[in-house]
Structure 1
Amino acid sequence: MSGTNRQSSAQRGGLRPSSLVDSQLQHLENVVEFVTRGDASGAQHTLDHEYWEKRIRALEETHELINSQRQRITKLLARLVTEAQVGRQNRSAA
């Protein structure tokens, strides 16, 4: 068997099926929600916006997404932008 048969569809130039993205989207939503709301003590965690945006964009580029998944990605990206703006305001006010 050659190694090329084991390549993912994304590596061969095709997109992965949308059915494979839901668990990854859920993970990203959980991380962004946790970090943006802070923990019980009120401490805010720092969020590497660039890293998480790259992760989200990678899903967008490698999977055949259905409309509801595209909407989830749009909401995640908007939340990251909002969080970045709030973070900049908090740093400049301090």
Structure 2
Amino acid sequence: MEKTKVLQVSRNAPATRATLKPARLADAQLDHLEHMIRSFALSGDPKALANLDHTYWQRRLAALGEESDLVSTQRARVLRLLDLLVQDRSTGADKAAA
């Protein structure tokens, strides 16, 4: 299993710190994303995990990283959630193959 090291930024024009949203505004979004992803991942219900659109949640996390001037602790939370999504996806593939 490979850990995600860097958030990928896919913008046509590079964002400067002046155009990014302040970190304090990202907290509410990050709390919501963390709650949703963790509740699905930790539920233990295979049907819940199967219905989780990993790509959607990965895009939401990436967008948060691209649009906000995250502090290091927020960036670490985003990376942990991305890793959790990758783990869930690989675990789901292992269960489907079994």
Task: Tell me the TM-score normalised to structure 1 length.
Answer: 0.78
1:44 to 43, 47, 58: 47
Unaligned runs of 5+ in 2: 1-14
User: Does 2:70 align with 1:65?
Assistant: yes
C-alpha contact (below 8 Å) 1:21/1:59 kept by paired residues: yes
Q: Secondary structure at the match of 2:47?
A: coil
Q: Output the amino acid matched with 1:25.
A: L
For the pair 1:87 / 2:78, whether they are aligned, the reply is no
Structure 1 vs Structure 2: percent identity of aligned residues?
36
Corresponding residue number in structure 1 for 2:40: 35
* In structure 1, C-alpha distance between the alignment counterparts of 2:37 and 2:92, rounded to whole Å: 14
Once the two structures are TM-superposed, the CA of residue 61 in structure 1 deviates from its matched residue by: 0.2
Structure 1 residue ranges, 4+ long, deviating more than 2 angstroms after superposition: none
Runs of at least 5 residues in structure 1 that lack an aligned partner in the other structure: 1-9
Name which structure has the greater RCO, CA cutoff 8 Å, separation 6+: 2
Query: For the residues of structure 2 that align with 1:71 and 1:43, how far apart are their CA atoms?
Result: 27
Q: Deviations over 1:43-90 (max 9, x none)?
A: 530211100000000000000010100000110000000000001111
Residue pair 1:53, 1:80 contacting (<8 A) in 2 also? yes
- Provide the C-alpha distance between the structure 1 equivalents of 2:38 and 2:82, rounded to a whole number of angstroms: 12
- Distance (Å, rounded) in 2 between the aligned partners of 1:43 and 1:74: 23
Aligned partners of 1:90 and 1:30: how far apart in 2?
Answer: 24
Task: Quote the residue 1:56 is aligned against.
Answer: 61
Measure, in 1, the Cα distance between the counterparts of 2:70 and 2:46: 35
Structure with bigger gyration radius? 1
